[in-house]
Amino acid sequence: MLKTMLYIAIGGAIGSVLRYLTTVLVSKFWSNQFPLATFITNVIGCFLIGLFIGILAKNNMTDSQLKWFLVTGFCGGYTTFSAFGMENFNLFQNNNSLIAFGYMALSILLGLFAVWLGLLLAK
């Protein structure tokens, strides 16, 4: 278990640094109000989690240290939106569309509410 946590930590650190670098790079070329850096990060993260899970499944490595490093660590450090995207994709694939739409709506609405509440409590 300690070895697995180490793989996740290293992957997460790399993902977090690359997220920061994505923000720095995008902000050099984009100064609009639209949060392009976060948008790009989320789309890239969703692509990468799909790619990694697909390659790992194809090679029967879904329970490997590489999965913990790439999926949980790297993608989790780069963006948790990738996990959100993958979970919803799985719900749709398993014919759980109603649950997927509910999950998306609740995540967005309660997430915004939680941000508002946290800011309110901090005042």
Task: Give me the amino acid identity at 57.
Answer: A
79 is in an annotated binding site: yes
85 is in an annotated binding site: no
Would you call 95 exposed, middle or buried from its count of C-beta atoms within 10 A (0-12, 13-18, 19+)?
A: exposed
Cα 66 to Cα 4, 63, 115, 116, 117, distances in angstroms? 9, 8, 33, 37, 38
Judged on CB neighbours under 10 Å (0-12, 13-18, 19+), 60 is exposed
Cα distance from N-terminal residue to C-terminal residue, the chain: 40
Q: Which residues are annotated as a binding site for Na(+)?
A: 76, 79
Binding site as annotated, residues: 76, 79
